[in-house]
Amino acid sequence: MNVQKIMVIGAGQMGSGIAQVCAQAGYSVLLNDLKQEFVDRGLGIIKKNLSRQVEKDRITAQQMEEVLSNLTPSTDIQDAKNVDLIIEAAVENMEIKTKIFSQLDQIAPEHAILASNTSSLPITEIAAATKRPEKVIGMHFMNPVPVMKLVEIIRGLATTDEVYQTIEDITKALKKVPVEVNDFPGFVSNRVLMPMINEAIFTLYEGVATKEAIDEVMKLGMNHPMGPLTLADFIGLDTCLYIMETLHEGFGDDKYRPCPLLRKYVKAGWLGKKTGRGFYVYE
Protein backbone atom coordinates (compact mmCIF):
# COMPACT_ATOMS: atom_id res chain seq x y z
CA MET A 1 0.00 0.00 0.00
CA ASN A 2 1.33 3.43 -0.98
CA VAL A 3 1.28 5.95 1.90
CA GLN A 4 2.07 9.55 0.95
CA LYS A 5 -0.02 11.71 3.26
CA ILE A 6 -0.02 11.24 7.04
CA MET A 7 -2.16 12.95 9.68
CA VAL A 8 -0.95 13.12 13.28
CA ILE A 9 -3.69 13.71 15.86
CA GLY A 10 -2.33 15.51 18.93
CA ALA A 11 0.41 18.15 18.75
CA GLY A 12 1.92 17.56 22.19
CA GLN A 13 5.40 16.24 22.90
CA MET A 14 4.78 12.83 21.31
CA GLY A 15 2.61 14.05 18.42
CA SER A 16 4.99 16.83 17.39
CA GLY A 17 7.90 14.37 17.53
CA ILE A 18 6.04 11.87 15.32
CA ALA A 19 5.10 14.65 12.88
CA GLN A 20 8.75 15.77 12.74
CA VAL A 21 10.19 12.33 11.89
CA CYS A 22 7.45 11.75 9.27
CA ALA A 23 8.17 15.13 7.65
CA GLN A 24 11.92 14.41 7.74
CA ALA A 25 11.25 11.14 5.90
CA GLY A 26 9.59 13.12 3.09
CA TYR A 27 5.94 12.45 3.90
CA SER A 28 3.32 15.18 3.61
CA VAL A 29 2.12 15.65 7.21
CA LEU A 30 -0.97 17.25 8.73
CA LEU A 31 -0.42 18.11 12.41
CA ASN A 32 -3.85 18.26 14.04
CA ASP A 33 -5.07 19.36 17.46
CA LEU A 34 -8.21 20.86 18.97
CA LYS A 35 -6.93 24.45 19.10
CA GLN A 36 -4.63 26.53 16.91
CA GLU A 37 -2.46 27.43 19.93
CA PHE A 38 -1.75 23.70 20.55
CA VAL A 39 -0.76 23.18 16.90
CA ASP A 40 1.43 26.33 16.95
CA ARG A 41 3.16 25.10 20.12
CA GLY A 42 3.81 21.71 18.46
CA LEU A 43 5.23 23.35 15.32
CA GLY A 44 7.36 25.56 17.59
CA ILE A 45 8.85 22.44 19.24
CA ILE A 46 9.65 20.99 15.79
CA LYS A 47 11.33 24.25 14.64
CA LYS A 48 13.39 24.35 17.84
CA ASN A 49 14.51 20.71 17.37
CA LEU A 50 15.46 21.29 13.73
CA SER A 51 17.27 24.57 14.52
CA ARG A 52 19.38 22.69 17.05
CA GLN A 53 20.29 20.16 14.34
CA VAL A 54 21.31 22.99 11.99
CA GLU A 55 23.51 24.51 14.73
CA LYS A 56 25.22 21.13 15.18
CA ASP A 57 25.74 20.81 11.39
CA ARG A 58 23.62 17.63 11.24
CA ILE A 59 21.32 19.18 8.64
CA THR A 60 21.52 22.32 6.48
CA ALA A 61 19.21 25.34 6.79
CA GLN A 62 17.75 24.36 3.40
CA GLN A 63 16.98 20.82 4.63
CA MET A 64 15.25 22.34 7.67
CA GLU A 65 13.05 24.46 5.38
CA GLU A 66 12.21 21.39 3.27
CA VAL A 67 11.09 19.48 6.39
CA LEU A 68 8.97 22.43 7.57
CA SER A 69 7.38 22.72 4.11
CA ASN A 70 6.13 19.11 4.51
CA LEU A 71 4.09 20.16 7.58
CA THR A 72 0.57 21.60 7.44
CA PRO A 73 -1.30 22.78 10.56
CA SER A 74 -4.85 21.47 11.11
CA THR A 75 -7.60 22.07 13.68
CA ASP A 76 -10.36 20.29 11.75
CA ILE A 77 -10.68 16.50 12.08
CA GLN A 78 -12.48 16.54 8.70
CA ASP A 79 -8.99 16.98 7.15
CA ALA A 80 -8.66 13.21 7.66
CA LYS A 81 -10.69 12.69 4.47
CA ASN A 82 -7.59 13.17 2.29
CA VAL A 83 -4.94 11.06 4.05
CA ASP A 84 -3.53 7.53 3.77
CA LEU A 85 -2.42 7.02 7.38
CA ILE A 86 -3.53 8.59 10.66
CA ILE A 87 -1.35 8.30 13.77
CA GLU A 88 -3.27 9.21 16.92
CA ALA A 89 -1.16 10.63 19.75
CA ALA A 90 -3.87 12.01 22.02
CA VAL A 91 -4.03 11.65 25.80
CA GLU A 92 -3.71 8.08 27.18
CA ASN A 93 -7.41 7.55 27.89
CA MET A 94 -9.55 4.80 26.37
CA GLU A 95 -12.75 6.86 26.22
CA ILE A 96 -11.01 9.70 24.35
CA LYS A 97 -9.17 7.35 21.97
CA THR A 98 -12.26 5.29 21.03
CA LYS A 99 -14.21 8.51 20.38
CA ILE A 100 -11.43 9.77 18.06
CA PHE A 101 -11.20 6.44 16.22
CA SER A 102 -14.96 6.26 15.77
CA GLN A 103 -14.90 9.76 14.21
CA LEU A 104 -11.88 9.00 12.02
CA ASP A 105 -13.50 5.80 10.78
CA GLN A 106 -16.39 7.84 9.35
CA ILE A 107 -14.16 10.56 7.84
CA ALA A 108 -11.00 8.83 6.55
CA PRO A 109 -10.97 7.20 3.08
CA GLU A 110 -11.65 3.48 2.94
CA HIS A 111 -8.00 2.56 2.30
CA ALA A 112 -6.62 4.63 5.22
CA ILE A 113 -4.83 2.91 8.11
CA LEU A 114 -5.65 4.10 11.63
CA ALA A 115 -2.71 3.79 14.06
CA SER A 116 -2.52 4.59 17.77
CA ASN A 117 0.57 5.68 19.67
CA THR A 118 -0.94 4.28 22.89
CA SER A 119 1.65 3.13 25.41
CA SER A 120 -0.53 0.57 27.19
CA LEU A 121 -4.16 0.37 25.99
CA PRO A 122 -5.47 -2.65 24.01
CA ILE A 123 -5.45 -2.09 20.24
CA THR A 124 -8.27 -4.63 19.79
CA GLU A 125 -10.55 -2.54 22.00
CA ILE A 126 -9.64 0.69 20.17
CA ALA A 127 -10.25 -1.09 16.82
CA ALA A 128 -13.70 -2.22 18.00
CA ALA A 129 -14.82 1.43 17.89
CA THR A 130 -14.43 1.31 14.08
CA LYS A 131 -15.89 -0.61 11.16
CA ARG A 132 -12.36 -1.31 9.87
CA PRO A 133 -10.64 -3.24 12.71
CA GLU A 134 -8.42 -4.96 10.12
CA LYS A 135 -6.86 -1.54 9.35
CA VAL A 136 -6.22 -0.54 12.98
CA ILE A 137 -2.75 -1.03 14.48
CA GLY A 138 -0.54 0.20 17.33
CA MET A 139 2.59 2.30 16.66
CA HIS A 140 4.15 2.99 20.05
CA PHE A 141 6.97 5.50 19.65
CA MET A 142 9.42 6.22 22.48
CA ASN A 143 10.04 9.65 23.99
CA PRO A 144 11.78 11.80 22.72
CA VAL A 145 10.63 10.59 19.31
CA PRO A 146 13.31 12.24 17.12
CA VAL A 147 16.07 10.57 19.22
CA MET A 148 14.72 7.15 20.24
CA LYS A 149 15.01 4.34 17.68
CA LEU A 150 12.35 1.88 18.85
CA VAL A 151 8.75 1.62 17.64
CA GLU A 152 6.62 -1.17 19.13
CA ILE A 153 4.15 -2.30 16.43
CA ILE A 154 1.08 -3.92 17.95
CA ARG A 155 -1.38 -6.00 15.96
CA GLY A 156 -4.99 -6.00 17.08
CA LEU A 157 -7.01 -9.22 16.87
CA ALA A 158 -8.14 -8.37 13.31
CA THR A 159 -5.09 -6.46 11.93
CA THR A 160 -4.15 -7.84 8.51
CA ASP A 161 -0.64 -8.87 7.41
CA GLU A 162 -0.73 -6.25 4.66
CA VAL A 163 -1.42 -3.44 7.15
CA TYR A 164 1.29 -4.74 9.48
CA GLN A 165 3.81 -4.86 6.59
CA THR A 166 2.92 -1.31 5.48
CA ILE A 167 3.49 0.05 8.99
CA GLU A 168 6.74 -1.89 9.37
CA ASP A 169 8.00 -0.42 6.06
CA ILE A 170 6.99 3.12 7.09
CA THR A 171 8.74 2.68 10.46
CA LYS A 172 11.96 1.75 8.63
CA ALA A 173 11.51 4.76 6.30
CA LEU A 174 11.41 6.93 9.45
CA LYS A 175 14.84 5.44 10.33
CA LYS A 176 13.31 3.65 13.32
CA VAL A 177 13.56 0.00 14.38
CA PRO A 178 10.19 -1.82 14.31
CA VAL A 179 9.57 -4.57 16.87
CA GLU A 180 6.43 -6.70 16.61
CA VAL A 181 4.52 -7.07 19.88
CA ASN A 182 1.24 -8.84 20.64
CA ASP A 183 -1.76 -7.04 22.08
CA PHE A 184 -1.39 -7.36 25.86
CA PRO A 185 -1.73 -4.56 28.46
CA GLY A 186 1.46 -2.45 28.53
CA PHE A 187 2.89 -4.38 25.54
CA VAL A 188 6.59 -5.09 26.36
CA SER A 189 8.08 -1.67 27.15
CA ASN A 190 5.65 -0.54 29.84
CA ARG A 191 4.89 -4.01 31.18
CA VAL A 192 8.58 -4.24 32.15
CA LEU A 193 9.37 -0.57 32.87
CA MET A 194 6.34 0.55 34.91
CA PRO A 195 6.44 -2.22 37.56
CA MET A 196 10.14 -1.38 38.03
CA ILE A 197 9.28 2.30 38.56
CA ASN A 198 6.38 1.31 40.83
CA GLU A 199 8.71 -0.92 42.89
CA ALA A 200 11.19 1.95 43.19
CA ILE A 201 8.32 4.10 44.55
CA PHE A 202 7.47 1.31 47.04
CA THR A 203 11.10 1.27 48.28
CA LEU A 204 10.82 5.03 48.91
CA TYR A 205 7.34 4.62 50.50
CA GLU A 206 8.61 1.89 52.85
CA GLY A 207 11.67 3.92 53.85
CA VAL A 208 14.18 1.44 52.39
CA ALA A 209 16.29 4.34 51.06
CA THR A 210 16.11 8.00 50.02
CA LYS A 211 15.02 8.93 46.50
CA GLU A 212 18.60 9.95 45.64
CA ALA A 213 19.96 6.61 46.90
CA ILE A 214 17.36 4.59 44.94
CA ASP A 215 18.19 6.46 41.72
CA GLU A 216 21.94 6.14 42.34
CA VAL A 217 21.70 2.35 42.84
CA MET A 218 19.94 1.91 39.50
CA LYS A 219 22.26 4.30 37.65
CA LEU A 220 25.57 2.99 38.98
CA GLY A 221 24.55 -0.60 39.74
CA MET A 222 22.37 -1.34 36.69
CA ASN A 223 23.91 1.18 34.27
CA HIS A 224 20.58 2.96 33.68
CA PRO A 225 21.05 6.45 32.16
CA MET A 226 18.69 7.91 34.79
CA GLY A 227 17.18 6.59 38.00
CA PRO A 228 13.59 5.28 38.06
CA LEU A 229 12.21 8.11 40.22
CA THR A 230 13.78 10.77 37.98
CA LEU A 231 12.43 8.89 34.97
CA ALA A 232 8.95 8.79 36.53
CA ASP A 233 9.08 12.58 36.95
CA PHE A 234 10.03 12.96 33.28
CA ILE A 235 7.27 10.61 32.07
CA GLY A 236 4.67 12.23 34.34
CA LEU A 237 3.40 10.59 37.53
CA ASP A 238 -0.20 10.74 36.26
CA THR A 239 0.86 8.75 33.18
CA CYS A 240 2.74 6.24 35.35
CA LEU A 241 -0.34 5.79 37.55
CA TYR A 242 -2.65 5.39 34.55
CA ILE A 243 -0.43 2.70 33.01
CA MET A 244 -0.14 0.82 36.33
CA GLU A 245 -3.95 0.92 36.64
CA THR A 246 -4.25 -0.39 33.06
CA LEU A 247 -1.88 -3.28 33.90
CA HIS A 248 -3.67 -3.98 37.20
CA GLU A 249 -7.10 -4.02 35.57
CA GLY A 250 -5.94 -5.85 32.43
CA PHE A 251 -4.23 -8.74 34.23
CA GLY A 252 -6.20 -8.72 37.51
CA ASP A 253 -2.90 -9.40 39.30
CA ASP A 254 -1.95 -7.51 42.48
CA LYS A 255 1.71 -7.43 41.49
CA TYR A 256 0.65 -4.47 39.33
CA ARG A 257 -1.03 -2.60 42.22
CA PRO A 258 0.02 1.08 42.07
CA CYS A 259 1.98 2.26 45.12
CA PRO A 260 -0.15 4.43 47.48
CA LEU A 261 2.58 7.09 47.42
CA LEU A 262 2.18 7.38 43.64
CA ARG A 263 -1.57 7.93 44.07
CA LYS A 264 -0.95 10.53 46.81
CA TYR A 265 1.46 12.55 44.64
CA VAL A 266 -0.95 12.52 41.69
CA LYS A 267 -3.83 13.66 43.92
CA ALA A 268 -1.60 16.46 45.23
CA GLY A 269 -0.96 17.59 41.65
CA TRP A 270 2.74 16.69 41.93
CA LEU A 271 2.97 15.17 38.47
CA GLY A 272 6.72 15.54 37.90
CA LYS A 273 8.75 17.86 35.72
CA LYS A 274 5.73 19.27 33.85
CA THR A 275 4.23 20.71 37.07
CA GLY A 276 7.56 21.67 38.65
CA ARG A 277 7.33 19.04 41.36
CA GLY A 278 7.22 15.24 41.59
CA PHE A 279 9.73 13.16 43.51
CA TYR A 280 12.11 16.06 42.87
CA VAL A 281 11.55 19.82 42.66
CA TYR A 282 12.15 21.53 39.28
CA GLU A 283 12.69 25.25 38.83
- Give pLDDT tens digits for 103-135: 999 999 999 999 999 999 999 999 999 999 999
All structural domains of the chain: 5-181 (3.40.50.720), 190-273 (1.10.1040.10)
Q: How large a percentage of the chain has pLDDT more than 90?
A: 98
Can you give the pLDDT at residue 194?
Answer: 97
Please list, in sequence order, all residues whose beta carbon lies within 8 angstroms of the beta carbon of residue 273, skipping any fewer than 6 positions away.
233, 234, 236, 282
Can you give the pLDDT at residue 79?
Answer: 97
Q: How confident is the model at residue 1 (pLDDT cuts 50, 70, 90)?
A: confident
Is residue 120 annotated as part of the catalytic site, yes or no?
A: no
pTM over 0.85: yes
Is residue 16 annotated as part of the catalytic site, yes or no?
A: no
Is residue 190 annotated as part of the catalytic site, yes or no?
A: yes
Given the residues 119, 120, 198, 212, select the one marked as catalytic. Answer: 119
Is residue 49 annotated as part of the catalytic site, yes or no?
A: no
Q: What Å distances lie between residue 96 and 146, 158, 173, 182, CA to CA?
A: 26, 21, 29, 23
